[in-house]
């Protein structure tokens, strides 16, 4: 790459992109816009103006009482609360870095993350005291815990020490604060990846990164001050902070439902209807359970203004169609990862040159893809073995590699490592294709791709095909070592009411997308599928359990005659 | 302002924001999206993919044949053509700076601009040869002229030398080009202000500036690849390049109507209807003439997806309502200037906290204001005399001063000057108010405000009130020196068919917005109102003509009894 420098501009190029600008803008222009939060089963309303005053009190508390300096890391262990929101702006606003603490990873890893980031203090919600207590003995740098609760401190029982009562500490701080200008490459927040192998790795997002990501989100979601965001995904995840910042940038209403996640679908949907929610983010699993609840409602809600972003995995067509037909809401597939802030691709509106060429069925099918890259983000495909660029022809599979202003270029205090980055791109670990109209499609995790006789079989596509059976609750497909073909597919299925059905019923579904030689040698009915701490299929564990299953087999099942 | 630096991020903060990224994205993801252009009264269609190939040929031509280097300035003298569009990306894409040459300023000023920027070459459309010829003898740095025409060169008659035939020169250049990464503070383009006093001053926009402005535009207009932009405002003006870059970022269709401006309303509107235009920009004058034509159409067009940005001056409510009621199109008031790239405020959707409190009439009235600042742009009001900040109370008037990443912080090669900047803000020269919900309202140009007996009278509001009379074609109000009151208002009106009407008819309109002492001492009927080269009222000239009108008058007309 050539790098050139030309005539200097007269622009204010030294104007620093700071997230403080976003909240200041919201408060100046939408001071009375509502922010809702749920606490003790009650819904409370306050405004941007109110929240901003509390942010300033917190900033003063951080500086004056805790002596937090620019560059310090401050942990937050909380659900989707208004306090977590206030900390989104108060901690980074003084030049410190907010460490997002994922309460679902193992205590061992969580302690590691806290020590690795050298966190100075931890803000912890009362309901998560036990999580903090479990790691406290192993913390090396933390000087104290700020307890966030509505109860008086005398009612709080904890082994943590020293502790500071959040509400009592901030209430007498001044509600005025002179926010500094922060050098835009300063880390706004940090989040550690929850990899299934090795220790979590630190992604530190700059203010510049967050600011540009927010602008891109606003451009692609078309958010304005008449929108209402419901924050479903935990606020320590990218999908959540991404949407919250977009909402703030455009002055939208936000609802923080507290500890009120996927398991409580009915009240979540009721809240959505009552407050005219137009934007939210989640995974297909969450939206599926919402859809099931909506089907039970006598009067179907009108959610025709709503755009719901679905990440983590491919949304089934039945889910997208169901929402559209029942409520008018669009389920939009978006793609991203912790390392990408997260938004890098979105399948929103059909590319106009394709629009008139596709049938309704083909259009829905297209919408399952990861979509088009967001402007400003470069996608490329590298052959994982040779490192050569793979053509953008919609067929050739390569590892999806990404670069751009909100993509991580390294891991915090981790030596550069070819396994994570290649030629200036971050390696997603996803195997995929890109077609001539720019559509990105993930076919598998690189490590999960099944390599059979020199060909690749997509475990994800096969899982989706199996999931098409109405009696299947969960399906997972892995590659099991095979003497002749290197690997052969094995499927595990968990059925409703532990039913068992004839193999043909699956094959019928599989033949729609696969040829005979690709079909799994065995499909096993199981009562439980092993999962990781964050709820993903633990394919490593499954392969380990079944590693000898195909050994010594020449060939098996339906594939025998074909191979 | 405190400036702090914290923990370094792991983001790709060195990823440079380049406008090349925008066009590359459009070509990769919307290769077959249409671009239309008009030439010799015919409409031609090509695509992003086609245009991109030509951009690469031009880039090669610039580097290989003209030996253009990063940092060189290259002038463009053209209408709204596909070639102008190609130059938008080809010239800055190699690291050079595109000098926008305003063909409406005086030849003397245009020569000054070209020399001041040290332009190396000028790309000139055949129809504008005479403009180039008029300045050529005075050019000090230009080494040649590239003639853009569909005719063979043998048919081109010009005194310019040396000349290069654009189409012939680029056709054999390779359609592949390895775009460099450009340091983001490099000037992408330059545009000189057309001030009524002194020489034009150079605003040099960085790639970073343009990129961020484009993202903001995309966020606020909600543009996507199903939109169609008609480029009406000349492409050497900010309103035009602002929208074009947003369209490219989101892969929208674009129509370049050539030399096809406001004077040709009917074919422009026909084109708009035929091609389903959803976005355009213009001034109230252009939209007014469109509306008049639409009124004559038997079948009113459905433009309900359209958002038309109106700048330059306050759009009358009758214009906004007329478009909405007749066609469904929104006329949206936006505010900006050459120094602000231009977008800094927009009056799109009504602030949600006001929405339910306003009557229909009040809502339309609100939409006349300049609107809410765009996130990322800081507005403030300074007292022009004392430099003190003026409260944001919707009443206190001050000079609108702006800062942000796409605001100019200086003029090119011009010593810093308190008249242009204050405390890190650019001084707009507009007198205005900001209310508690953020709405910006311009009341006057600072220099046009009429100061009478220590009070300010807004000449703009008075002109609008006079324009409310159906027989008035144009109205201008200036402050004329007055012995007792310092200044008193004088109005000049140009009437339809040179009519003369009784003073009472004006007073009736004026009393709706003004109290008695504010009314003009005289309202004169004139056949012509002096204008500047860019078509604005030449208030300086008017004051000069009438400077002795009120001298020696104790008081006059309707004001006598009140003062």
CATH number at residue A423: 2.30.38.10
pLDDT higher than 50, residue B520: yes
- Residue B179: per-residue pLDDT: 98
Q: At B322, is the secondary structure helix, strand, or coil?
A: helix
Most confident of A385-394, A445-454, B350-359: A385-394
What is the per-residue pLDDT across A321-345, written as a single tens digit (0 to 9) for each?
A: 999 999 999 999 999 999 999 999 9
| Interior angle at CA A325, CA A323 and CA A331, nearest 5 | 30
Query: Which domain CATH number covers B496?
Result: 3.30.300.30
The rounded distance, in Å, linking the Cα atoms of B157 and A223 is 53
Q: Which residues face B100 on adjacent strands?
A: B76, B191
The CA-atom distances, in angstroms, between B264 and each of B79, B91, B148, B276 are 14, 30, 23, 18
Q: Are residues B52 and B73 in the same domain?
A: yes
pLDDT higher than 70, residue B320: yes
pLDDT higher than 90, residue B479: yes
pLDDT higher than 50, residue A358: yes
Query: Which domain CATH number covers B125?
Result: 3.40.50.12780
**Closest chain B residue by Cα to residue A376:** B21
- Residue B40: per-residue pLDDT: 82
- The residue ranking higher by pLDDT, A35 or B420, is A35
A371 assigned to some structural domain = no
Q: Are B181 and A1 in contact (CB under 8 A)?
A: yes
Q: Are residues B147 and B39 in the same domain?
A: yes
Give the whole-number percent of chain B exceeding pLDDT 90: 81
Q: At B188, is the secondary structure helix, strand, or coil?
A: strand
Region of poorest pLDDT, from A27-31, A450-454, B207-211: A450-454
Q: Give the closest-approach CA distance of A69 to chain B in angstroms.
A: 8
What is the per-residue pLDDT across B277-295, written as a single tens digit (0 to 9) for each?
A: 999 999 998 999 999 999 9
Q: Are B407 and B400 in contact (CB under 8 A)?
A: no
Q: Are residues B121 and B172 in the same domain?
A: yes
Tokens of B36: 């239309």
What is the pLDDT averaged over residues B18-34?
A: 97
Q: Are residues A419 and A483 in the same domain?
A: no
Q: Residue B230: name the closest of B207, B211, B247, B216 by CA.
A: B247
Half-sphere exposure of A477 (CA within 13 A, CB side): 27
* Active-site position among A20, A97, A193, A338: A193
Give the whole-number percent of chain B exceeding pLDDT 70: 96
What is the per-residue pLDDT across B387-410, written as a single tens digit (0 to 9) for each?
A: 999 999 999 999 999 999 999 999
Buried b (16+ CB within 10 A) or exposed e, B218-251: bbbbbbbbbbbbbbbbbbbbbbbbbbbbbbbbbb
CA R_g for chain A: 25
- Report CB contact under 8 Å: A181, B1: yes
- Residue A454: per-residue pLDDT: 77
Chains A, B: CB contacts under 8 A, how many? 301
Tokens of B312: 């330059």
Q: At B556, is the secondary structure helix, strand, or coil?
A: coil
Q: Are residues A420 and A453 in the same domain?
A: no
Give the whole-number percent of chain A exceeding pLDDT 90: 81
Q: Return the HEC string of A262-304.
A: HHHHHHHHHHHHHCCCCEEEECHHHHHHHHHHHHHCCCCCCCC
What is the pLDDT averaged over residues B313-337?
A: 95
| Interior angle at CA A520, CA A517 and CA A526, nearest 5 | 170
Domain boundary among B152, B172, B205: B205
The rounded distance, in Å, linking the Cα atoms of B451 and B488 is 7
Assembly ipTM: 0.91
A319 assigned to some structural domain = no
- Report CB contact under 8 Å: B181, A212: no
φ, ψ (nearest 5 deg) of residue A529: -110, 130
What is the pLDDT averaged over residues A168-193?
A: 97
**Could you give the residue ranges of the DSSP H alpha helices within B136-178?**
166-171
Q: Give the closest-approach CA distance of B356 to chain A in angstroms.
A: 12
- Residue A556: per-residue pLDDT: 45
Q: Are residues B58 and B174 in the same domain?
A: yes
What is the per-residue pLDDT across B85-141, written as a single tens digit (0 to 9) for each?
A: 999 999 999 999 999 999 888 899 999 999 999 999 999 999 999 999 999 999 999
- The residue ranking higher by pLDDT, B251 or A451, is B251
Q: Give the closest-approach CA distance of B352 to chain A in angstroms.
A: 6
Q: Residue B55: name the closest of B15, B12, B26, B13 by CA.
A: B26
**Residue with token string 């609008």:** B464
Half-sphere exposure of A215 (CA within 13 A, CB side): 26
What is the per-residue pLDDT across B362-385, written as a single tens digit (0 to 9) for each?
A: 999 999 999 999 999 999 999 988
Q: Read off the pTM.
A: 0.92
The secondary structure of B244-309 as a DSSP string is HHHHHHHT-EEEE-BS--GGGHHHHHHHHHHTT--EEEE-HHHHHHHHHHHHH-SS----TT-EEE
pLDDT higher than 50, residue B558: no
What is the pLDDT averaged over residues A77-92?
A: 98
pLDDT band at B559 (very low <50, low <70, confident <90, very high): very low
- Residue A563: per-residue pLDDT: 32
The rounded distance, in Å, linking the Cα atoms of A269 and A257 is 11
- Residue B534: per-residue pLDDT: 66
Q: At A155, is the secondary structure helix, strand, or coil?
A: helix
φ, ψ (nearest 5 deg) of residue A186: -65, 140
What is the pLDDT averaged over residues A514-535?
A: 89
- Report CB contact under 8 Å: A12, B407: yes
Q: Are residues B507 and B436 in the same domain?
A: no
For chain A, give percent helix, strand, coil, nearest 5. Answer: 35, 25, 40
- Residue B234: per-residue pLDDT: 93
A282 assigned to some structural domain = no
- The residue ranking higher by pLDDT, A9 or A450, is A9
Domain boundary among B432, B447, B462: B447
A49 carries an active-site annotation: no
Q: Are A420 and A352 in contact (CB under 8 A)?
A: no
φ, ψ (nearest 5 deg) of residue B241: -65, -30
The rounded distance, in Å, linking the Cα atoms of B180 and B94 is 6
Q: Residue A441: name the closest of A449, A453, A429, A433 by CA.
A: A433
The secondary structure of A222-272 as a DSSP string is T--TT-EEE--S-TTSHHHHHHHHHHHHHT-EEEE-BS--GGGHHHHHHHH
The rounded distance, in Å, linking the Cα atoms of A349 and A333 is 11
The CA-atom distances, in angstroms, between A310 and each of A111, A272, A435, A541, B562 are 30, 16, 22, 27, 68
- The residue ranking higher by pLDDT, B561 or A188, is A188
- Report CB contact under 8 Å: A187, B32: no
Pairing type for strands B119-125 and B144-148 reads: parallel
The rounded distance, in Å, linking the Cα atoms of B445 and B266 is 33
A456 carries an active-site annotation: yes
Q: What is the largest CA-CA distance in chain A?
A: 79
The rounded distance, in Å, linking the Cα atoms of A96 and A76 is 13
- Residue A558: per-residue pLDDT: 39
pLDDT higher than 80, residue B556: no
- Residue B461: per-residue pLDDT: 86
pLDDT higher than 80, residue A361: yes
- Residue B55: per-residue pLDDT: 98
B120 assigned to some structural domain = yes
Residues of B in contact with A11 (CB under 8 A): 185, 204-206, 208-209, 405-409
The CA-atom distances, in angstroms, between A373 and each of A387, A445, B273, B533 are 21, 19, 31, 45
pLDDT band at A559 (very low <50, low <70, confident <90, very high): very low
A358 assigned to some structural domain = no
My answer on whether omega of the bond before A162 falls inside 30° of 0, hence cis, is: yes
- Report CB contact under 8 Å: A403, B353: no
The rounded distance, in Å, linking the Cα atoms of B531 and B152 is 39
- Residue A94: per-residue pLDDT: 98
Domain boundary among A198, A226, A254: A226
Residues 6+ apart with CB under 8 A from A559: A488, A516, A517, A519, A521
Q: Are residues B107 and B165 in the same domain?
A: yes
Tokens of A355: 């629009």
Q: Are residues A442 and A454 in the same domain?
A: no
The rounded distance, in Å, linking the Cα atoms of A339 and A400 is 13
Q: Are B243 and B281 in contact (CB under 8 A)?
A: yes
pLDDT band at B551 (very low <50, low <70, confident <90, very high): confident
Q: Residue B354: name the closest of B345, B346, B363 by CA.
A: B363
Q: Residue A338: name the closest of A167, A200, A185 by CA.
A: A200
Buried b (16+ CB within 10 A) or exposed e, A361-384: eeebebbbbbbbbbbbbbbbbbeb
Indicate the burial class of A324 (C-beta count within 10 angstroms; 0-12, 13-18, 19 or more): middle
What is the pLDDT averaged over residues A503-518?
A: 92
What is the per-residue pLDDT across B213-241, written as a single tens digit (0 to 9) for each?
A: 999 999 999 899 999 999 999 999 999 99
Q: Give the closest-approach CA distance of B105 to chain A in angstroms.
A: 22
The rounded distance, in Å, linking the Cα atoms of A431 and B120 is 48
Q: Are A557 and A522 in contact (CB under 8 A)?
A: yes
- Residue B431: per-residue pLDDT: 95
Most confident of B372-376, B456-460, B467-471: B372-376
Residue A162, number of CB atoms within 10 A of its CB? 8
**Could you give the residue ranges of the DSSP H alpha helices within A419-538?**
459-467, 503-510
- Report CB contact under 8 Å: B375, A250: yes
Residues of B in contact with A178 (CB under 8 A): 2
Residues of B in contact with A211 (CB under 8 A): 376
pLDDT higher than 50, residue B557: no
**Could you give the residue ranges of the DSSP H alpha helices within B30-77?**
48-60
- Residue B196: per-residue pLDDT: 60
pLDDT band at B419 (very low <50, low <70, confident <90, very high): confident
Residues of B in contact with A25 (CB under 8 A): 373, 375-376
What is the pLDDT averaged over residues B79-85?
A: 97
Q: Are residues B154 and B186 in the same domain?
A: yes
Count of structural domains within chain A: 3
- Residue B562: per-residue pLDDT: 33
Q: Give the closest-approach CA distance of B34 to chain A in angstroms.
A: 9
Residues of B in contact with A17 (CB under 8 A): 376, 405
Determine the residue among A1, A3, A4, A11 to mutate to test chain B binding: the one whose Cβ has the most chain B Cβ atoms within 10 Å: A11
Q: Are residues A210 and A62 in the same domain?
A: yes
B151 assigned to some structural domain = yes
Residues in chain A: 563
pLDDT higher than 70, residue B195: no
Give the structural domain span for B473: 449-559
What is the per-residue pLDDT across A271-303, written as a single tens digit (0 to 9) for each?
A: 999 999 999 999 998 999 999 999 999 999 999
Tokens of B247: 């369209």
pLDDT higher than 90, residue B460: no
What is the per-residue pLDDT across A373-421, written as a single tens digit (0 to 9) for each?
A: 999 999 999 998 889 999 999 999 999 999 999 999 999 998 876 689 9
What is the pLDDT averaged over residues B57-77?
A: 98
- Report CB contact under 8 Å: B204, A3: no
Pairing type for strands B425-434 and B455-457 reads: unpaired
A506 assigned to some structural domain = yes
B261 assigned to some structural domain = no
pLDDT higher than 70, residue B561: no
Q: Are residues B528 and B435 in the same domain?
A: no
């Amino acid at each position: 790459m050539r790098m050139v420098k030309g005539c200097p501009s007269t622009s204010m190029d030294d104007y620093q992109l700071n997230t403080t600008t976003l909240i200041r803008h919201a408060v100046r222009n939408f001071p009375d816009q509502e922010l809702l939060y749920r606490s003790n089963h009650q819904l409370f309303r306050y405004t941007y103006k109110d929240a901003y005053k509390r942010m300033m009190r917190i900033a003063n508390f951080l500086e004056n009482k805790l002596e937090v300096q620019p560059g310090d890391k401050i942990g937050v262990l909380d659900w989707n609360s208004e306090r977590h929101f206030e900390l989104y702006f108060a901690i980074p606003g003084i030049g410190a870095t907010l460490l997002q603490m994922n309460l679902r990873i193992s205590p061992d890893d969580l302690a590691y993350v806290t020590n690795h980031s050298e966190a100075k203090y931890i803000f912890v919600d009362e309901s998560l005291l036990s999580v903090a207590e479990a790691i406290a003995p192993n913390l090396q740098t933390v000087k104290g815990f700020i307890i966030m609760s509505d109860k008086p401190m005398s009612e709080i029982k904890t082994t943590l020490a020293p502790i500071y009562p959040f509400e009592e500490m901030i209430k007498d701080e001044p509600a005025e604060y002179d926010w500094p200008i922060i050098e835009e490459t300063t880390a706004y927040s940090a989040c550690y990846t929850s990899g299934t192998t090795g220790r979590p790795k630190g992604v530190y997002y700059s203010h510049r990164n967050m600011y540009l990501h927010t602008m891109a989100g606003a451009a692609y979601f078309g958010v304005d001050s008449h929108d209402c965001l419901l924050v479903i995904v935990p606020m320590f995840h990218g999908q959540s902070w991404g949407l919250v910042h977009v909402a703030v940038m455009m002055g939208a209403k936000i609802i923080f439902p507290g500890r009120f996640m996927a398991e409580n679908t009915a009240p979540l949907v009721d809240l959505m209807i009552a407050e005219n929610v137009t934007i939210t983010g989640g995974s297909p699993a969450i939206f599926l359970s919402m859809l099931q609840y909506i089907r039970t409602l006598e009067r179907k809600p009108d959610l025709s203004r709503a755009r719901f972003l679905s990440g983590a995995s491919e949304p089934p067509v039945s889910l997208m169609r169901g929402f559209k037909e029942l409520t008018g809401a669009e389920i939009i597939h978006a793609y991203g990862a912790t390392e990408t802030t997260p938004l890098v691709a979105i399948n929103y509106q059909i590319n106009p040159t394709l629009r008139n060429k596709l049938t309704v069925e083909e259009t829905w099918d297209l919408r399952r893809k990861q979509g088009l890259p967001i402007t400003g983000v470069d996608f490329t495909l590298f052959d994982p073995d040779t490192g050569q660029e793979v053509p953008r022809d919609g067929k050739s599979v390569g590892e999806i590699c990404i670069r751009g202003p909100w993509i991580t270029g390294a891991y915090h205090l981790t030596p550069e490592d070819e396994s994570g980055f290649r030629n200036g791109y971050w390696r997603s670990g996803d195997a995929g294709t890109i077609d001539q109209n720019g559509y990105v499609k993930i076919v598998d995790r690189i490590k999960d791709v099944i390599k059979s006789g020199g060909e690749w079989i997509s475990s994800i596509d096969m899982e989706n095909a199996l999931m098409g059976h109405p009696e299947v609750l969960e399906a997972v497909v892995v590659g099991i070592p095979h003497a002749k073909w290197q690997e052969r597919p094995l499927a595990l299925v968990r059925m409703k009411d532990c039913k068992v059905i004839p193999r043909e019923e699956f094959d019928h579904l599989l033949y729609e997308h696969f040829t005979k030689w690709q079909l799994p040698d065995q499909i096993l009915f199981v009562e439980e599928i092993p999962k990781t701490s964050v709820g993903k299929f633990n394919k490593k564990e499954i392969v380990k359990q079944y590693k000898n299953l195909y050994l010594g087999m020449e060939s098996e099942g339906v594939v025998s005659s074909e191979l």
